[in-house]
Every structure is written in C-alpha cells, then in structure tokens.
A = this chain, B = another copy of it.
C-alpha cells in the first residue's frame, strides 16, 4: 500500500506504466488520497473528459485488512457532471484486493489518441494493458461473463458499461461483489465517463498469492476489531434494521416523516410506499429463494444487502438500495418492486447512477414525455441509454440536462447533481448537506437523516432550521474522514452513538499503521479533505451561489408539512467556518 500505480493512457506508442512511492501522499487513503491527488495534479479548469483530468482509484487505509467493513473503494476525478472535484465510493471486492496487491491507488492519466478500448490486468507480478475491442459496448453483466473464463472467479473487476464508453455524465463505475455480479457502483458524478474518456473498459484485479495485510501491532489490532464488531452488532441500526430489511428499511420511515419525494418532488408522501418498503421487499426476496440479509464484500458484519430474484426464482439483481427504490419508485410514481428491481439491474448493467436516473426519469415524466407511474416507459428510457440513441444520451447525461432539453423548471439538482431520496423541506439538515457539499447534492456527504430522523447522535428537529448547520458541518467532517479509512459509512450509526466503538475505529487505524492518532486527528483529517475539495472547486469557478438548493425548495411548500426549506442562505455560508 505504499505504491502509486500510474498509467498514462496517452503515452506515445501506447499506454505506459509507472510505479512510484506514495511520497508526499503517504498516510492518506480513500477519499483523502483521491482528493489530494486531484487537487494537486489536475488543473481545475480542464475539461473533465480531456487528457488533463485523472481518474484515481484508491482503497482505504484499512482496506485489505481483517478489519470488518473495510471494503470501500474511493474513485476520484474532476466530475463531468458537476464540473467540480468528485469522490464516489463503492462496496464490493475491489478495495480489499487492490490493497492486498500493494497499491495505495491506481492513477489513470492522459487520454489515448485513437479509439481503442483497453483492458488492464493487475496481479502480484505484473500490470498488463491490452487492446480488447471485443468488449466494446458490452453491458457490465455481459462483460464479466466474457472475462470470468479468462481471469477466474476469484478476481475483482472494476468496469464501465455502455454509458461510460459513451462518456455520459451519469455513468458509473461498477465493482463486482462476492458473487462476481457487477452490482456495487461508484455511482455519482459521472466517474464512469472519465474512465471511458481514458479508453479503459475494465480493470481486472487478481490477488492470488497475496496475503491479508499485516498490522504493525497484531495483538492490539485483534482486540480493537473485537470491540469494533461487537459495537456494530449491538447498535439497533447496524445490528437490527439494516441486516433485516437493508437500507430500504427507510422507505416507511421517511414516508412517515413526510420527506419521501414523490413524482419529481411534488409531494412528500407516496401512496404506494408500503408496496415498495424494505419489509415488503425482504419478505418477497425470502419467498423467491433470494436473500434478505447478505454482505457486499467479505468481512462485512452488517449484511445490509440481499439477493433479489425474479418471479421464477432466478437472480435479477442485488437487493436495491433505499435510494434506488425511492428514485425509481416514489419519484417516478412507480409502486412495483419488480419494475424497480429491473431498473436497478439495467442501471448496473449499462453503468448508470440509480439516483441520477430516477431523478432524470422523474423530470421527463414531469415534462410529459411519459406519465408518472409508467413502468414500461421507465424501463424503455434506460434501454434508450443502452442503445445510445439521442434520447438515451439525454437520459444518461442526468436530470439537469433532461430539464434543459425539455424545458422543465422543477429540476432537483445542486451543482448539476441530482438530489437523493430525502426532501430537504421536510428534513432540513440533509438540505444543508445537499447545498454545501463540494460533491453536489449527496446524502452520503453528511447524512443528517441520522440525527434528524433516526435520532442517532442526538436529535435535531428536521422541520426547523435550528442546529442544522452544525449538524451538517460535523457530519461532513466525520464523513470525509470515514471515507478515507475504506470503512462503509454505515459504521457511523454505531460510531456516533457509542464512544467505545468510535475509539475502536481509531485503535484499528493506530494498531494497523503503528500510529497514535486521537479523535482530534480524525477531525483534522476530515477538515483538511474538505478544504482540499473546496479549494479545487473554487479554482474551478465555484462560488457560494452554487451552495444553494434550487429555488423551488424555498418557494413551493411540500405536503404534508406544507413547509419550505427553512435554512437561510447566509447560514449555509457558515458550514465551512470552523
């Protein structure tokens, strides 16, 4: 984990490989590393699809170790969707495998002059880059099917579908899960388009012959991991709600709270909520021989995922996340789980961000292109992306572009990125995160739902403006730090509520790396990451006026609470005053 693997896709005579020590980036992992490299090495005003942009793929500080939940992979670049810095992270197997191969990050640089499509294969002995145009325009599922016989089913695959090859701004990067399905996506901000602009279809990571990474202090590490796992298991969210019903446990909760955006953010409650809830989905999964409790990578104890089979009992997709169920469900007026699961499958296959797609289809329904609730219509819109038709290119470019193409005013985006599954008019804290995160609208950047709704880490009234700035600020700082460890963000529930679990996380890092960090050091790390990211965005031309929700959130009241977003602009500007 002390080596950067730089691959210059634009080198004369074909891609060139350079391995170098992490050097100035030593001690950084995940988002801390991707954002440091992007902010130091990428000209903020470059074209996101040009040779000057870089795609940085980095496991976290604890990835590849026996520490539970350490399987997140951070992917960073200048975003073709927001025009700012981007870190999008994914679960699956890739982070663990990449870390065990000894790389702190893969950095894809430059851009090929021609139109060849490349495959990169990395194992403990070599890095091989070959042209393989037979992979062109394969979906992620067909791609993995084609590669499995060659590279085996122990490898981890990082790939793009048709959307990434077409360089569409909502294109994701897929990582394979334990079953080798391409279901874990760095979804947001168009990272897949940047991979496509580098001409790279897939990175195959094979860790055969490598070992689990060794802690500096194995004894202390084991002890800390025990406390860590116990803490995760005993918390009601990470030990109860998430394992039982997955993230979709939130459908009933957020709908009840009146913050479940329905029909392109027209209302805050969806009549069909119970038909698509986590409880309904878990029962259906079990009934069809799927799984309602499952992990996305080895070493997970939360097991928030599942296996969603079709009516005949054949695998269709992994258990769709809450945000996907919302995006393709309530936001499109669709109350049918099989349709939502099919849309999830298509998103994964084509390589698209499910949140952006749900928001985009919602905008197109609002424009009257198809009706709210039109299940076949929604599926067809994703198939248009697969085909690369002009309509598909609009869809695959996200909600902001769809709104422009069809003259819609009510377009739920911040910094051009679609808002996820929580309406800021009913849950003010998350609105602060949406508005101010350097990533664009992103619930994971500072998940205020925890404290506004789930009463984790205290309680801040979701319907009032008081306390939301501090809440979002603290969460954004903590999240930036967590995103650097390789830890799944869901650990935050236990970490926020249980001081000993937070301490166990710090102990894991210290024992592994031979450090003596304190809680303050973690906070300082989070702040420094956010500062890097904000500085990049500023140099890219971002201003405080971009740290705002679209006008309609402060103008049009949302039923059932009949409130608008209550936090004032001048308060939004205080989030990063610390």
Taking Cβ atoms with an 8 Å cutoff, the residues of A that contact B are 43-47, 49-50, 52, 80, 166-169, 193, 196-197, 389-391, 393-394, 397, 401, 404-409, 539-546, 548, 550-552
Q: Please, which residues of chain B bring their CB within 8 A of the CB of A405?
A: 168, 390, 393-394, 397, 401
B401 touches A404 (CB 8 A): yes
Q: How far is the CB of A11 from chain B (nearest CB, A)?
A: 17
The complex places the Cα of A69 from the Cα of B545 at a distance, in Å, of 41
**Pair A50/B397 contact, Cβ less than 8 Å:** no
Bound-state CA distance A404–B544 (Å) is: 25
**CA of A401 to CA of B52 in the docked complex: distance in angstroms?**
21
Return 21 A-B CB contacts under 8 Å, by A number.
Answer: A43-B551, A44-B545, A45-B545, A45-B548, A45-B551, A47-B409, A47-B551, A50-B551, A52-B551, A197-B409, A390-B391, A393-B394, A393-B405, A397-B404, A401-B401, A401-B405, A541-B542, A541-B543, A541-B544, A541-B546, A543-B543
CB-defined contacts of A50 to chain B, threshold 8 Å: 409, 551
Known: A80-B404, A169-B404, A401-B405. A541 touches B545 (CB 8 A): yes
Task: Determine the chain B residues whose CB is within 8 A of the CB of A546 once the complex forms.
Answer: 541
Closest 7 pairs (CB-CB, A-B): A167-B407, A541-B545, A390-B391, A393-B405, A390-B390, A541-B543, A47-B409
Copies in the complex: 2
Q: Within 8 Å CB of A46, what residues of B?
A: 551
Q: Shortest distance in angstroms between A172's beta carbon and chain B's nearest beta carbon?
A: 15
CA distance A389 to B369 in the complex (A): 11
A550 to B50, CA, bound (A): 11
**Assembled-state Cα–Cα distance A167/B80 (Å):** 24
Determine which residue in A169, A393, A540 has the highest number of CB atoms from chain B within 10 A of its CB, and name it.
A393
Could you tell me the distance between the alpha carbons of A405 and B116 in the complex, rounded to whole angstroms? 20
CB-CB under 8 A from A539, the residues of chain B are: 545
Distance in Å: Cβ of A93 to nearest Cβ of chain B: 29
| Given A393-B406, A404-B401, residue A540 in contact with residue B545 (CB < 8 A) | yes
Q: Chain B contacts of A43 at CB under 8 A?
A: 551
Name A's interface SS.
Answer: loop
Instruction: Give Cα distance in the complex from A191 to B406, angstroms.
Output: 16
In the complex the two chains form, is A550's CB within 8 Å of B47's CB?
yes
User: What's the Cα separation between A552 and B390 when bound, in Å?
Assistant: 26
Contacts of A406 in B (CB 8 A): 166, 393
A196 partner residues in chain B, CB cutoff 8 A: 407
> Quick one: closest B residue to A389, CB to CB?
B390
A169 to B400, CA, bound (A): 13
Most central of A52, A539, A541 by chain B CB within 10 Å = A541
- Inter-chain pairs besides A197-B409, A401-B404, 15 sampled, C-beta below 8 Å: A44-B545, A46-B551, A47-B409, A47-B552, A49-B408, A50-B409, A80-B404, A167-B407, A168-B405, A168-B407, A389-B390, A390-B391, A393-B394, A541-B545, A543-B543
Contact A49 B407 (CB under 8 A): yes
* Bound CA–CA A166/B405 (angstroms): 9
A321 to B: closest C-beta gap in Å:
27
How far, in angstroms, from A443 to B465 measured CA to CA in the complex? Answer: 47
Please measure, in the bound complex, the distance between the C-alpha atom of A393 and the C-alpha atom of B390, giving whole angstroms.
Answer: 9
Give complex CA distance A548, B544 in Å: 20
Residue numbers in B under 8 Å from A47 (CB-CB): 409, 550-552
| Residues of chain B lying within 8 A (CB to CB) of residue A390 | 389-391, 393-394, 405
Query: Complex Cα distance A552/B393, Å?
Result: 24
- Within 8 Å by CB of A166, from B45, B80, B407, lies B407
Alpha-carbon separation in the docked complex, A168 to B391 (Å): 15
Q: Report chain B residues within 8 Å CB of A551.
A: 43, 45-47, 50, 52
| CB neighbours of A49 from chain B (8 A) | 407-409
Chain B residues with CB under 8 Å of A543's CB are 541-543
**Max count, chain B CB within 10 A of own CB: residue among A43, A389, A543:** A543
A16 to chain B, nearest CB (A): 21
* A544–B539 alpha-carbon span in the complex (Å): 9
Chain B residue numbers with a CB within 8 Å of A168 are: 405, 407
Give complex CA distance A193, B550 in Å. 19
Residue in chain B with minimal CB distance to A404:
B397
State in angstroms the CA–CA spacing of A27 and B551 once bound together: 33
Report the bound CA distance from A539 to B197 in whole Å.
34
Chain B residues in 8 Å Cβ range of A548: 45
CB pair B407 A193 closer than 8 Å: yes
Q: Nearest chain B CB to A55's CB is how many angstroms away?
A: 15
Q: Which residues of B contact A52 (CB under 8 A)?
A: 551
**In the complex, chain B residues whose CB is within 8 Å of the CB of A404:** 80, 169, 397, 401
**Looking across the interface, which residue of chain B has its beta carbon closest to that of A550?**
B47
Min Cβ gap A550→B in Å is 7
Bound: A540/B551 CA distance, A: 12
- Nearest CB of chain B from residue A323's CB, rounded to whole Å: 24
Q: Once the chains are docked, how many angstroms separate the CA of A545 from the CA of B539?
A: 7
Closest to A396 in B: B405
Min distance, Cβ A51 to any Cβ of chain B, angstroms: 8
User: Nearest Cβ distance between residue A225 and chain B, in whole angstroms?
Assistant: 44
By a CB distance below 8 angstroms, the chain B residues around A389 are: 390
